[in-house]
Structure 1
């Protein structure tokens, strides 16, 4: 039996009136968190995080069923069916992402096979992710994140909270931490120890780091991290393409899927070559599973945005979700000699007066660059994916063109 017991995935789910819009938003947030947690479980060989992935996967199953029930109740005419068909595709794709994330987590829980030195080969830029249970005597219990000011003080972030069976996926300043909350913490390893001990009252015991016994393992881990980042970006862009009915973003999702497929092929080839020289080739079996699951996630992202590419009008339930948010993701092509050409970018922020944050760059000669991983310089011909307000997006596009 794995560390995740008491599975209730077969429990009956009865129809209850729910906001389909709210369910879709929660499915999006859940899918993105699942990708993050599942890969982190593998990279850090962390069974506790992998078990949380399976709990979250179970939550996604419930959300999927409720979304399907709500959509079926909403169909009143052939026109409704035409507009809701892509929304059903979004629901199915989110479930595919959830299942793929579960498969990744099981690589850890079922000991399918992973090199013990994965953690040792992690790039320095990858932050530590740990699971903690808040003790009733903790200084954090009963206080909001704003009161604790954790990130400013330590650099450690609470990326999600689980309270019993309920998840708080986007904890903000007003989120109050209570005793027995399961808090997922991410930040610099040097700061994690103090925060973990303050939250749990127990000493933090970092896992033993094995010496790499497989040649070029660092390159394999770098590839896994890149595949993770591209998969997360693909899902984010896919939902944004749907929410804003943006065909250009949907096309970039397809470009990302092509890149992930190429990475998967190279990664599998590396794994097979490494197996020939490994003392125990079975320890590499999980890497094959990882590559296959990654491809499922990128394919699902394409499925989410398929309705946009087929020019099917966005259903009002999706439009309502857009109207509540002023933040958008946009795609611009940098013109030669424009205001962005030659601009330095640090941590996503371009050295201009623009308030847009650059998430990624697609450079025809180099492929995808995830800006959060490294500083970069914008060049003419680059395709930029950026996030910000609608007003800032208009100014950003003008800057890219002139």
Structure 2
């Protein structure tokens, strides 16, 4: 395995004019990929994925310096400084997410240890994510992702490609796979093995975890998986709150951060209780590291949305970063007796005829419910977070009101 130390971002950096918008977009995409990779690396005991996390962490350090140089050059008066301060906060918080992801990967690289119960939780927690190097004779090489059509055929997606030191973070249908590309694949375990073998020419072996019957440990594992999912949602909402200057989304980030803090307290108590019954209590150290890093990610999400919560005008450079996409996150409160009240959400798809994907529900008295892999019924008083186009979002809001 090649070393992450060879990443080009470790070279000296001098100021040169760059598009702050492009840097912010890349930092956001990199942060989201880092969260995904770091947890997958640890949960699957995949050292190659962990090495990619450290490469991306170094890339993030490079992007942070580029962004800070450009932002400092752009501040010409007090008004500029006031509007750019939240952008600097976004840059700093995004780097905190990167550092936290690196700390998660080091649980594996430094052999800090995790109980097998973490793997047992995987079928309910995440799809399988693998790293593979495209073989010269692979049927996928020199073909575009659109031609290969992996997702519709197998459910497996290419979520990123690394070509030398260059990353393609959002490969689309026109993106071609080249020989020696490092591909990050995500999909169901039942299908991803065949795709991996076709890509690399190597055999994929899925590891069956051992069962663990320690009750407190099972509760701790379930809690950390929930913390991970809530922290990922917080990051997504935080960026959206800034990009769309949406105070309601920023408020939900704050609610999520409070929820993660409460979960962490219970999580730590269950880990300590489990240590008394564990054959190897030292193997639980990684859980503590994982909980701490997960809480850092939710704190960073809160920092990203701070400018919106303080009602500071969004700088134009941030607005530019979102104009390339029409897809948005929206927050809707379901009013009793509205069309959405009593409607069913199945695998994130609302029963009502509207093209919005429901991501999460905050239900008074019950907390947060992540609905991507569950069926649920919307109720009056629910706060719903959904993703879709601006047009669909407007229709969704109307359905929530009598």
Structure 1 residues 211 and 353, CA, compared in 2 at 3 Å: closer, same or farther? closer
1:268-326: CA deviation from partner (whole Å, max 9, x where unpaired): 11100000111211000010011111111101001001001111101010122233322
Aligned residue for 1:83?
A: 83
Aligned residue for 2:24?
A: 24
Alignment check: 8 A CA contact 1:2 1:109 kept: no
Rounded to whole Å, the distance in 1 between the matches of 2:292 and 2:109 is 17
Aligned residue for 1:284?
A: 284
Higher mean alpha-carbon deviation, 345-354 vs 95-104, is at: 345-354
Aligned residue for 1:175?
A: 175
Q: Indicate the SS of the match to 2:123.
A: coil
Q: Indicate the SS of the match to 2:368.
A: strand
Alignment check: 8 A CA contact 1:267 1:291 kept: yes
Aligned residue for 1:362?
A: 362
* Aligned pairs for 1:259-298 within 5 A: 259-298=259-298
Aligned residue for 2:102?
A: 102
Rounded to whole Å, the distance in 2 between the matches of 1:252 and 1:305 is 10
**Pair 1:121 & 2:121 matched:** yes
Q: What is the number of residues matched between the two proteins?
A: 402
Rounded to whole Å, the distance in 2 between the matches of 1:314 and 1:171 is 29
1:213-257: CA deviation from partner (whole Å, max 9, x where unpaired): 644544333222211111111011001100111100000000000
User: TM-score normalised to the size of structure 1?
Assistant: 0.96
Higher mean alpha-carbon deviation, 218-227 vs 272-281, is at: 218-227
Higher mean alpha-carbon deviation, 92-101 vs 215-224, is at: 215-224
Rounded to whole Å, the distance in 2 between the matches of 1:155 and 1:323 is 29
Alignment check: 8 A CA contact 2:219 2:270 kept: no
Aligned residue for 1:393?
A: 393
Deviation at 1:23, TM superposition (A): 0.5
Q: Indicate the SS of the match to 1:257.
A: helix
Rounded to whole Å, the distance in 1 between the matches of 2:8 and 2:168 is 20
* Aligned pairs for 1:46-195 within 5 A: 46-124=46-124, 126-195=126-195
Rounded to whole Å, the distance in 1 between the matches of 2:116 and 2:258 is 30
Deviation at 1:105, TM superposition (A): 0.5
Alignment check: 8 A CA contact 1:142 1:177 kept: yes
Alignment check: 8 A CA contact 1:155 1:187 kept: yes
Instruction: Structure 2: state its 5+ residue gaps.
Output: none
Aligned residue for 1:241?
A: 241
Rounded to whole Å, the distance in 2 between the matches of 1:165 and 1:134 is 16
Aligned residue for 1:381?
A: 381
Deviation at 1:25, TM superposition (A): 0.7
User: TM-score normalised to the size of structure 2?
Assistant: 0.96
Q: Indicate the SS of the match to 1:222.
A: helix
Alignment check: 8 A CA contact 1:121 1:212 kept: no
Deviation at 1:121, TM superposition (A): 3.4
Q: Indicate the SS of the match to 1:256.
A: helix
Alignment check: 8 A CA contact 1:344 1:351 kept: yes
Aligned residue for 1:202?
A: 202
Deviation at 1:212, TM superposition (A): 2.4
Rounded to whole Å, the distance in 2 between the matches of 1:251 and 1:124 is 28
Rounded to whole Å, the distance in 1 between the matches of 2:117 and 2:382 is 36
Deviation at 1:7, TM superposition (A): 6.0
Aligned residue for 2:317?
A: 317
Rounded to whole Å, the distance in 1 between the matches of 2:159 and 2:111 is 26
Rounded to whole Å, the distance in 2 between the matches of 1:2 and 1:199 is 19
Rounded to whole Å, the distance in 2 between the matches of 1:249 and 1:206 is 39
Rounded to whole Å, the distance in 2 between the matches of 1:357 and 1:208 is 32
Q: Indicate the SS of the match to 2:11.
A: coil
Rounded to whole Å, the distance in 2 between the matches of 1:274 and 1:3 is 36
